Amino acid sequence: MAQQPLIELQDVSFQYEYTQVLNKISLTVREGDFLALLGPNGSGKSTLLKIILGLLKPTKGTVKLFGEPGSSFKHKEWIGYVSQKSNSFNSGFPATVREVVASGLTKKIGLFKRNLPNQQKRVMESLQAVGMEQFANRNIGELSGGQQQRVFIARALVAEPKILILDEPTVGIDHENVQSFYDMLSDLNEHLHMTMILVTHDVDTVSNTISHVACLNQTIHFHGYKDDYDSLSDDQLNAWYGHAVRKIHHDNKEKQK
Ligand code: ADP
């Protein structure tokens, strides 16, 4: 039986005043999917995420979230979001890892009920899920970019979302830690059955983790299983993106060796 659609976009178009950014996007994300959203800079990825998050309204087309029209959808906490700019706390920032994660609870249970007995338990469970429980009492600013990013994912998880949206989460993570970061995301998908949308440029590194790929450049050029994406020709991808996507990626890898 097909899994339930959590996000359904149909013929969604969007323009900022005069610039057409998205054109007739139809995209369905189902429960349990791990979708990599690929596209060059300026292709509309962040705009698409803002539409899913309800921060922007489509100029045309419809959005359904968990089967409900996006405009009347009440359960914002079901959609967890970690932005690209999250991991920017400097060493002086006065909050512990535990406090940062607990701040993710306020959306769900309200500022005045924060001392629920299971709050700390949920904070620790979220930290465990991202492999960061031993850092609970450390100052957030003392952690590396990758460790901070894991803490921000724990902050999103503590609100018990049903889907997690990550916008280029490996920006600021050291190259040698990227694979273990993706392995952690893979565990969340497999063991917590977390549905994921991941905006990334690391399609080769993330390849073993994801189930689906969507290629965006103003419109969705491809959306399907990862294996079908792998069998697309380079010429096809280059035609969509206007430059050699895989080749650039491989060249970068060669340089890093
Ligand atoms: P991506 O995330 O793929 O880099 P974006 O969704 O950020 O792409 O941007 C898509 C296009 O929309 C770009 O051409 C960008 O310049 C334009 N754009 C983004 N935000 C705004 C804005 N607030 N006002 C006008 N144009 C914008």
How far, in Å, CA of 160 to CA of 194, rounded? 10
Cα dihedral: 42, 60, 31, 213 (round 10): -30
What sign does the CA torsion over 159, 124, 134, 197 have?
Answer: negative
Contacts of 58 (CB under 8 A, 6+ apart): 9, 12, 13, 14, 22, 51
Q: Is the CB of 47 under 6 A from ligand 1?
A: yes
Check residue 120 and give its pLDDT: 87
Check residue 108 and give its pLDDT: 52
Is the separation of the CB atoms in 100 and 151 below 8 Å?
yes
- CB-based burial label for 29 (10 Å; 0-12, 13-18, 19+): buried
Atom of ligand 1 lying closest to residue 167 CA: 2
Output the CA–CA distances (angstroms, integers) from residue 210 to 105, 228, 255, in the order listed.
28, 12, 25
Residues of the chain short of pLDDT 50, as ranges, are 247-257
* CA 222–ligand 1 middle distance (angstroms): 21
* CA 204–ligand 1 middle distance (angstroms): 25
Check residue 257 and give its pLDDT: 34
Check residue 115 and give its pLDDT: 58
Check residue 204 and give its pLDDT: 79
Candidate from 43, 47, 216 with most ligand 1 atoms within 8 A of CB, to mutate: 47
Check residue 249 and give its pLDDT: 44
Q: Which two tokens stand for residue 252?
A: 């970068």
Is the separation of the CB atoms in 56 and 50 below 8 Å?
yes
Question: Which residue lies with its CA nearest to atom 24 of ligand 1?
Answer: 16
Q: Which two tokens stand for residue 192?
A: 């917590």
How far, in Å, CA of 13 to CA of 103, rounded? 34
* CA 13–ligand 1 middle distance (angstroms): 13
Q: Is the CB of 16 under 6 A from ligand 1?
A: yes
Check residue 2 and give its pLDDT: 64
End-to-end CA distance of the chain: 44
Check residue 90 and give its pLDDT: 65
Q: Which two tokens stand for residue 82?
A: 């970690």
* CA 6–ligand 1 middle distance (angstroms): 25
Is the separation of the CB atoms in 214 and 220 below 8 Å?
yes
Atom of ligand 1 lying closest to residue 19 CA: 26
The neighbour count for residue 177, using CB atoms within 10 Å, is 16
Atom of ligand 1 lying closest to residue 17 CA: 25
Helix runs in the chain, H state only: 45-52, 97-102, 106-109, 119-129, 145-157, 175-191, 226-230, 234-241, 245-256
Note the pLDDT tens digit of each residue in 111-162.
555 556 678 889 999 999 999 999 999 999 889 888 999 999 999 999 999 9
How far, in Å, CA of 126 to CA of 124, rounded? 5
* CA 47–ligand 1 middle distance (angstroms): 7
Question: Which residue lies with its CA nearest to atom 14 of ligand 1?
Answer: 42
Q: Is the CB of 44 under 6 A from ligand 1?
A: yes
